[in-house]
Amino acid sequence: MTQAQEEAGSGNYLLEARGITKHFGAVTALRGVDFHVGRGEVLGVVGDNGAGKSTLMKILSGLFAPSRGALIFDGRPIRFQSPHDARDLGIEMVYQDLALAENINIAENIFLGREPVRRLLGGWLPLVDHKAGRDHARQHLDNLHIHVKSVEQRVGELSGGQRQAVAIARATAFDAKLVIMDEPTAALAIKEVGKVLDLIKGLKDRGIGVVLISHRMDDIFYVCDRVMALFHGANFAEAALCDTSRSEVIGWIMGTKEGQGELAHDRVH
Ligand SMILES: Nc1ncnc2c1ncn2[C@@H]1O[C@H](COP(=O)(O)OP(=O)(O)O)[C@@H](O)[C@H]1O
Ligand SMILES: [Mg+2]
């Protein structure tokens, strides 16, 4: 491929990663992984425990630097020093352990670290504008069709599903282009799962790219456009949802491909 073709190709993706390798001391968590996601695309990422899913997402969201490999955002090579840099580009991650502060309220969680500021004394005295924060939070939750009693409710009082919704609201409050979610439904009651999945569909409808890590085939087959599988830190398989099946994807997680008796396990030392 010529460089021009390569550039044209990469420009089609919202975020692309090429040849990502990550070592943690003697452990190699990722081995030359290629990845891409488009605007308004929901990509499912599957793989067994330890396959490298969370590590890859932490690299895509700027928390870890790759040992080797390149990231390309909107056709341009990028290098993150911190999650702050990724956020500035509109890449947001909802972590597996959520990272919401329990003892403050919903509005404060949504704006944590990015509070609206009112300047007094000709701009010399910046003050957090709590009222503007509450109003923005309420409006944003309404836009996402997230219903809470009050944005002044403490997060510690919320159910798992409501917390997940607040975490998603937080991730999308500032012009997000890509939202990465690590097992967002794993800890939820069944009746809350559908709401979170519908929120993901709403993000897609607004042109936001979504990466969804999930073990639940129901999640993957309800919201995703495409699914990719990692196995032992490497790309294993991927397909458009319409070209695969639950049983095939479950096979990928275990390291098998249809029509291929051999287990990938047998080839990994
Ligand atoms: N911060 C870390 N330090 C050392 N090893 C890590 C760290 N994070 C992940 N690993 C290792 O990297 C591999 C991939 O882990 P992870 O990305 O969490 O997989 P998954 O999310 O698919 O379960 C595992 O062997 C794990 O023990
Ligand atoms: Mg993980």
**65-108 per-position pLDDT tens digit:** 999 999 999 999 999 999 899 999 999 988 766 677 888 889 88
**HEC letters along the chain:** CCHHHHHHHHHCCCEEEEEEEEEECCEEEEEEEEEEECCCCEEEEECCCCCCHHHHHHHHCCCCCCCEEEEEECCEEECCCCHHHHHHHCEEEECCCCCCCCCCEHHHHHHCCCCCEEEEHHHCEEEECHHHHHHHHHHHHHHCCCCCCCCCCEHHHCCHHHHHHHHHHHHHCCCCCEEEEECCCCCCCHHHHHHHHHHHHHHHHCCCEEEEECCCHHHHHHHCCEEEEEECCEEEEEEEHHHCCHHHHHHHHHCCECCECCCHHHHCC
Pocket flag, ligand 1, residue 244 (CB < 6 Å): no
Pairing of strands 15-24, 68-73: antiparallel
Residue 215 belongs to a domain: yes
Pocket flag, ligand 1, residue 27 (CB < 6 Å): yes
Q: Report pLDDT for 5.
A: 46
Of 91, 5, 68, 37, which Cα lies nearest the Cα of 238? 37
Domain of 55, in residue numbers: 3-90+174-186+207-267
Pocket flag, ligand 1, residue 33 (CB < 6 Å): no
Q: Report pLDDT for 185.
A: 82
Residue 36 belongs to a domain: yes
User: pLDDT tens per residue, the chain (269 residues)?
Assistant: 444 445 445 457 999 999 999 999 999 999 999 999 999 999 999 999 999 999 999 999 999 999 999 999 999 999 999 989 999 999 998 876 667 788 888 988 888 777 777 776 676 776 777 888 888 888 888 887 888 889 998 988 888 888 888 888 888 888 899 999 998 888 777 777 888 898 899 899 999 999 999 999 999 999 999 999 999 999 999 999 999 999 999 999 999 997 665 555 555 54
Pocket test for ligand 1, best of 45, 55, 212 (most atoms within 8 A of CB): 55
Return the half-sphere exposure (C-beta side, CA atoms, 13 A cut-off) of residue 221. 12
Residue 260 belongs to a domain: yes
Pocket flag, ligand 1, residue 263 (CB < 6 Å): no
Closest listed ligand to the CA of 55: 1
Work out the number of other CB atoms within 10 angstroms of the CB of residue 152.
Answer: 15
Rounded CA separation 252/243 (Å): 14
Pocket flag, ligand 1, residue 49 (CB < 6 Å): yes
Residues 76/82, Cβ–Cβ less than 8 Å: no
Residue 181 belongs to a domain: yes
Pocket flag, ligand 1, residue 24 (CB < 6 Å): yes
Q: Report pLDDT for 265.
A: 58
Give the position, in ligand 1's atom list, of the atom nearest the Cα of 230.
Answer: 22
* φ, ψ (nearest 5 deg) of residue 182: -100, 105
Q: Into how many domains does the chain fold?
A: 1
Expressed in angstroms and rounded, the spacing between residue 24 Cα and the centre of ligand 1 is: 8
Q: Report pLDDT for 184.
A: 83
Which token pair is 228?
């990719």
CATH number at residue 218: 3.40.50.300
* φ, ψ (nearest 5 deg) of residue 197: -65, -35
Residue 240 belongs to a domain: yes
Rounded CA separation 11/269 (Å): 37
Expressed in angstroms and rounded, the spacing between residue 133 Cα and the centre of ligand 1 is: 36
Pocket test for ligand 1, best of 22, 23, 24 (most atoms within 8 A of CB): 24
Residue 153 belongs to a domain: no
Pocket flag, ligand 1, residue 72 (CB < 6 Å): no
Expressed in angstroms and rounded, the spacing between residue 238 Cα and the centre of ligand 2 is: 19
Return the half-sphere exposure (C-beta side, CA atoms, 13 A cut-off) of residue 64. 19
Residue 15 belongs to a domain: yes
Residue 220 belongs to a domain: yes
Q: How far is CA 47 from the centre of its chain?
A: 15
